[in-house]
């Protein structure tokens, strides 16, 4: 089971507060100490657009991670990659992204899907030349808030082009929490046939409470790579009232209860989520932060 923790990027960028660099570094190091071996640290985006990540370089230079952790950064474009490469020794993977729907891609990055693919091709070639592993993330892969249903064949056509451009891993994002388990199962069965040799990663949001149900559906379709965010941080500005990504601690708890090994210390992961909650000064939405882990040793009451 492979879990990439995306809270330090996807989570922090969606917060109204700008967390101090030292706080971010502390939280990232707590996640690493919990046994998470894949962590998305930050993104090299325009600071005037996403001021929450304006300290990307400072975070990379300050954080200390064990050799067991694979660090990644989200790269919006070629300029972002060049900025990241100034700190090349601090990460091993890049994540490039685009949307499956034209409307969402235009609103998110101001480009058509074709323009994004062309830019990603150049970015991936440069990254591969630097011996970086490349992931491509397709947002709105299961539904778009502006266009509604996104046909699986369209998503897979984009994924096939990304694989041809050099993506070794492709993440499929349920960006606004529109997916359902039957849809997820059918999609990943088809994706496995269409993309042999490519690592398939599922990225679910819990907007409508179906995140973990979708994880189970993906698992049963053979997916073993997931992205999640501690404390259920993250989200998307649409739809109204959207919550964040599935919580890493909820995901790990479910997997452990199912007998699936993750190598993650759930207690330490919860401690990291509590530290994030304290840093933000508000309750976070993960179920385990509220209820705690399952305790099979406690005698039944009554």
Give the total residue count for the chain.
302
Q: Across the chain, which distance is largest between two alpha carbons, in Å?
A: 65
Cα–Cα dist 200/291, whole Å: 31
Q: What dihedral do alpha carbons 24, 49, 57, 204 form, nearest 10°?
A: 50
Instruction: Of 290, 294, 202, give the one whose Cα is nearest residue 257.
Output: 294
Rounded to the nearest angstrom, the gap between the alpha carbon of residue 33 and the centroid of all alpha carbons in its chain is: 19
- The answer to whether residue 236 is catalytic is yes
Contacts of 173 (CB under 8 A, 6+ apart): 137, 138, 139, 140, 141, 203, 205
Q: Considering 59, 84, 202, 236, which one is annotated as catalytic? A: 236
Please spell the DSSP secondary structure of 197-239, one letter per residue.
TSEEEEEEB-TTS-HHHHHHHHHHTT--EEEEBGGG----S-S
Q: Which residues are catalytic?
A: 236
């Amino acid at each position: 089971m492979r879990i990439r923790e995306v809270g330090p990027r996807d989570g922090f960028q969606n917060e109204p507060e700008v967390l101090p660099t030292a706080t971010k570094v502390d939280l990232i190091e707590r996640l690493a100490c919990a046994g998470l071996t894949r962590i998305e640290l930050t993104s090299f985006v325009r600071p005037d657009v996403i001021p929450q990540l304006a300290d990307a370089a400072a975070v990379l230079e300050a954080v200390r991670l064990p050799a067991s952790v694979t660090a990644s950064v989200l790269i919006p474009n070629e300029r972002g990659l060049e900025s990241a490469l100034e700190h090349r020794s601090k990460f091993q993977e890049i994540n490039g992204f685009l949307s499956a729907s034209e409307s969402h891609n235009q609103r998110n990055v101001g480009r058509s899907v074709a323009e994004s693919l062309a830019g990603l091709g150049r970015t991936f070639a440069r990254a591969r030349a630097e011996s970086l592993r490349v992931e491509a993330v397709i947002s709105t892969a299961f539904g778009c808030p502006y266009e509604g249903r996104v046909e699986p064949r369209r998503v897979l056509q984009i994924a096939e082009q990304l694989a041809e451009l050099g993506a070794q891993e492709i993440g499929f994002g349920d960006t606004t929490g529109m997916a359902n388990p039957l849809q997820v199962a059918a999609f990943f069965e088809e994706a496995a046939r269409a993309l042999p040799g490519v690592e398939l990663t599922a990225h679910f949001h819990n907007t409508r409470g179906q995140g973990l149900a979708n994880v189970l559906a993906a698992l049963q379709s053979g997916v073993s790579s997931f992205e999640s965010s501690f404390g259920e941080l993250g989200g998307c500005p649409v739809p109204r009232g959207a919550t964040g990504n599935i919580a890493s601690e909820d995901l790990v708890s479910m997997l452990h209860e199912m007998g699936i090994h993750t190598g993650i210390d759930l207690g330490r992961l919860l401690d990291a989520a509590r530290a994030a909650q304290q840093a933000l000064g508000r309750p976070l939405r993960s179920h385990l932060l509220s209820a705690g882990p399952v305790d099979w040793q406690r005698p039944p009451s009554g």
